[in-house]
A and B are shown apart, each in its own frame.
Chain A
């Protein structure tokens, strides 16, 4: 019940808490495919709500009381920006290994990682805010809450996709892994 002292650096604040899964030698490939699939499902779940909103006029007579507007798009845009930032960071910089240049590069990489995750968390919180303020607390019919739920689904799945991609790309640089390939 103690920290592994060999990997422990007391200067580090953000330790990497993800477990080291072993799913065989295809772990990286499967993780990347899974991340892409989650990414597509996330965006299509929201686009489904948007397209459905744009075409919904038949059961409500003239005009439905609420539409998917630009407010609904904002959390997804924030999450996508955060996703780009998180994905584009070099993982070796975050790990902060010796001989990888100066320490300010490591500091900057961690700062950008923080910004990326903050953007994604902001997108998630914003989607829940839109769900509560626009759809739950108002007097619309029950089926219009689907727009809000689709928005939350998009942001949750985007965060899951980023986590899966991070785990798939992070811990596959073992040398014996290369030998057994």
Chain B
């Protein structure tokens, strides 16, 4: 149980650093467009039903779309076949789409000169930290009945 506690503390520190980078990339140049990257990462995090109760305050507004796709249409215990359905594929497709969008958006904004290049780099690093934290969390505390992988 102590190992789990250490993991939680480490992941929360990494998550806080990621949020810090994202918010700093917005605040240093007083241009709040990179916050959309963070929003897309929250949208991805809502896809994992284990994280729903932990990030409820953040994801509550924009959570329903991928969460509904993943948790209700997945190959659950009640479904007769083990074959992944089209809805699961759609959820994975949307997840990949949103993740790539989160990384491509600051690059595009920096390319056209809307935000600074260092703000773009900080936003990408922060978004990668946040998303990596979410992945690591869902891997470390994966419950036995979740067969999403």
Residue A110 interfacial (CB < 8 Å) = no
B97, A36: Cβ atoms closer than 8 Å: yes
Contact A52/B95 with A41-B100, A44-B100, A178-B82 known, Cβ cut-off 8 Å:
no
B 65-118 contacts with A by CB, 8 A? 81-84, 89, 92-101, 104-105, 107-109, 111-114
8 closest residue pairs by CB, A with B: A36-B96, A40-B100, A44-B104, A36-B93, A55-B112, A52-B112, A48-B108, A33-B96
Between A and B, 6 residue pairs with Cβ closer than 8 Å are A36-B94, A39-B93, A48-B112, A51-B114, A173-B83, A178-B83
Which A-chain residue is minimally distant from B113 (CB atoms)? Answer: A55
Contacts of B112 in A (CB 8 A): 48, 51-52, 54-56
Q: Across the interface, which residues of B come within 8 angstroms of A58, CB to CB?
A: 113
A interface bracket (residues with beta carbon within 8 Å of B): 20 to 34
Q: Mark B137-149, 1 if CB is under 8 A from A, else 0.
A: 0000000000001
Find residues 1-47 in chain A having any chain B CB closer than 8 Å to their own CB: 26, 28-29, 32-37, 39-41, 44, 47
Contact, CB under 8 Å: B84 / A28:
yes
**Cβ–Cβ contact A40 & B101, under 8 A:** yes
Instruction: Pick the residue among B83, B84, B92, B109 that contacts A33 (CB under 8 A).
Output: B92
A41 to B101, CA, bound (A): 8
B100: chain A residues within 8 A (beta carbon): 36-37, 40-41, 44
6 additional A-B pairs beyond A33-B93, A44-B100, A178-B81, beta carbons within 8 Å, are A36-B97, A40-B104, A48-B111, A55-B114, A56-B112, A172-B83
Residues in B with CB closer than 8 Å to A52 are: 108, 111-112
Residue of A26, A39, A54, A165 with highest tally of chain B CB at under 10 A: A39
Q: Which residues of B contact A29 (CB under 8 A)?
A: 84, 92, 149
